[in-house]
Structure 1
Amino acid sequence: MSAAGPLDRWYESAGVRTGVRRMFHEGAEQGLVFFPEALVPHLGHEAVRALDPERRRELTVRHLYQFLLATTHLETRVVNRAAEPIANGRTPLALTAALRQDAFKVYCDEGYHALYSLDLADQIAGVTGIAIPDWDYGGFVEQLAAAARRLLPDQPQLAGLLQAVVFETLITAVLNELPTDATVVRPVRDLMRDHAKDEGRHHRFFATFFHELWAGLTPELRRRAALALPELIHAALSWDLAPVEDSLRLAGLDTAAARDVLADCYAPTAGADRISEISRSTLRLCASVGAFDLPGVREAFASRGLYEVDGGP
């Protein structure tokens, strides 16, 4: 008998099969925040602390909008773009029917995650009167795509599959930061908890798939893929700064002040400890296939603060 797979009970446990619609009622959420203030890097900047409380509240709401709407793009344009060829057997790999069916389950889940992320953002905007700005929330996806083109220009499918593996093995740690934070409005916590449950299963699916993918690569492609991974990890954990700048300007900062805030709060070294912590599981996955044993790979990860050459990931 084969070992149980992470999506074997999908029909009984997936959010799209068993979940409820999360509803926002402002009256029940008085005194709570929309996004953990510790996870909004610019809230601690002196120029932002000087704003009146209502402007700061709007900043957290727009940060939540950016998180939710970027999710709709990531799930449909990054993860599902990888899940579809896996599901339909359009990769060079000889995958089992069970793995391909699991990829279709992931595909269904991600569409549902995109739907309820957009739904909650629309609900909050309607109740609070804080409009969802007409921004391009897919800029984050474009950042990922640009990194992939630069790192693996002649291997677009491999780059897309690696992007999905990286994102899906990072996202659970990100989502798990919110559900237990009692300062955050309940529908946001509940939605993040719902999402994290599905993504925990997706993490295991993509970890299994990554081993299959790695085994099918030539030695040269393994090294190139391994060298691309630290940049893909960083790209997946970086905010798209255009909406952040616009949000700061809507809060009352002029362009120069907004850009000073970005320079101080989103510098390349900012949040290094958090990135290292969130990526720990992804680094263990890389280690499990021997990626760090390939020439130059430890150094590439170390240059991004993701590997201590003498101590490991």
Structure 2
Amino acid sequence: MNIANYRSIAEDWERRATIRTRPRRQMENDDKLIYPLCRQPLALCATFLEHCPQWRDFVLVQSFYKFINDVVIFETEIVDKTARRIAKNRFALPFPLVCRYDAMTVVVDEDYHALVALDFLQQTVAMTGIQPLDLPREIELSRALPAALAQAPAHLHDAVELIGVAIAENTVTQDVAAFSNDESVKSSVRGLMADHLFDEGRHAQFWTRLVRLYWEAASVDDRDGIARALPTFLAHYLTHDLQKAFDLQLIDHLDVSASTRGALRAEIEALDFPITRQHPLIANIMGFLHHSGLLQTPSIAQALDDYLLLAGRAA
């Protein structure tokens, strides 16, 4: 691998990483929301607003618990795993030491994010008295990576994992940014998200540079093999199924009439989030594919077109 153009994130991490620069954040007991209403369609649907608005805070708190749970899964079970293997030189792709050091800073950051998330979960339970429902044991990426690996030959599994994690790290930033900018939400929660975003921007750069380093050295056959797995990855990653299942679970825990419950379920089931080129996550993914050099590969560009065509038909 030619690392002449690789730029390390280590100095930036030393100066700016939140684990080095931020005090513990404590949740304030005020009248602001714990989770943005705009991110929870259940609390905004017509039936909910008419028949059970008193359940809003319960729904938002449970949604916050799910968000925290998703963060912990993402950081510790997926990103940490990949970054740690790279750092310890146990990845099929042998990256130079400077890259492995950078990968270990990502490990430290991600575990710290999970720690802070669990701290906020404890603070929320103590403040609200609301215990979390059974939370999902997987996120979309938990399904997308194995599905994509099944479409690739064994010698490309680590490369597919690398690119899948890089895509996720380049899309999570927008999700967190929208959260941190919502002034209806408690200041401490927005601060938590801003801290997370501060680190994730650096991580997105790291993964993009690492993928570009790999891609420059990859053979044409290997590039085409990865391209064949890309539509499967995107189809499983860009789905609303897990969120919809969680919202339906939430409805089952509301103390409402059977008719109201049925109407709420129907409204949630009817929600659709079509994936098109205008979708913000697609824009993030396109940006990553461009900056990492993948989009300039004809088979990758074609795979993306194929995915968007199928997604458009499904919508």
For the aligned pair, the TM-score class normalised by the smaller chain equals: 0.7 to 0.9
Q: Which residue of 1 aligns with 2:182?
A: 181
Distance 1:116 1:236, change over 3 A: farther
Q: Which residue of 2 aligns with 1:205?
A: 206
CA distance in 2, matches of 1:97, 1:36: 41
Conserved 8 A contact 2:43-2:53:
no
Residue 128 of structure 1 and its aligned partner are, at CA, apart by: 0.8
Q: Which residue of 1 aligns with 2:13?
A: 10
Question: More displaced, 118-127 or 244-253?
Answer: 244-253
Q: Which residue of 2 aligns with 1:22?
A: 25
Q: Which residue of 2 aligns with 1:143?
A: 143
Amino acid at match of 1:41: P
Question: More displaced, 166-175 or 8-17?
Answer: 8-17
Cα displacement string for residues 215-260 of structure 1 (whole angstroms, at most 9, x for unaligned residues): 3433233123234335434544445233222112112465754542
Conserved 8 A contact 2:34-2:185:
yes
Higher fraction of helix: 2
Distance 1:112 1:233, change over 3 A: farther
Matches for 1:260-275 after TM superposition, within 5 Å: 260-265=266-271, 267=272, 270=273, 272=275
Question: More displaced, 51-60 or 237-246?
Answer: 237-246
Residue 55 of structure 1 and its aligned partner are, at CA, apart by: 0.6
Give 3-state SS (helix, strand or coil) of 1:177's partner. helix
CA distance in 1, matches of 2:281, 2:179: 13
Amino acid at match of 2:19: V
Residue 132 of structure 1 and its aligned partner are, at CA, apart by: 1.1
Q: Which residue of 2 aligns with 1:33?
A: 33
Conserved 8 A contact 1:78-1:163:
no
Residue 41 of structure 1 and its aligned partner are, at CA, apart by: 2.8
Unaligned runs of 5+ in 2: none
Find the partner of 1:246 among 236, 242, 249: 249
CA distance in 1, matches of 2:33, 2:50: 18
The alignment status of 1:124 with 2:112, answered yes or no, reads no
Residue 102 of structure 1 and its aligned partner are, at CA, apart by: 0.4
Identity among equivalent positions (%) equals 23
Residue 89 of structure 1 and its aligned partner are, at CA, apart by: 1.7
RMSD: 2.7
TM-score by length of 2: 0.84
Distance 1:113 1:50, change over 3 A: same
Q: Which residue of 2 aligns with 1:294?
A: 298
Residue 131 of structure 1 and its aligned partner are, at CA, apart by: 1.3
Cα displacement string for residues 124-153 of structure 1 (whole angstroms, at most 9, x for unaligned residues): 121011211133343545323443344437
Residue 70 of structure 1 and its aligned partner are, at CA, apart by: 0.9
Give 3-state SS (helix, strand or coil) of 1:20's partner. coil
The alignment status of 1:79 with 2:79, answered yes or no, reads yes
CA distance in 2, matches of 1:230, 1:47: 36
Distance 1:182 1:243, change over 3 A: same
Q: Which residue of 1 aligns with 2:62?
A: 62
TM-score by length of 1: 0.85
Give 3-state SS (helix, strand or coil) of 1:107's partner. helix
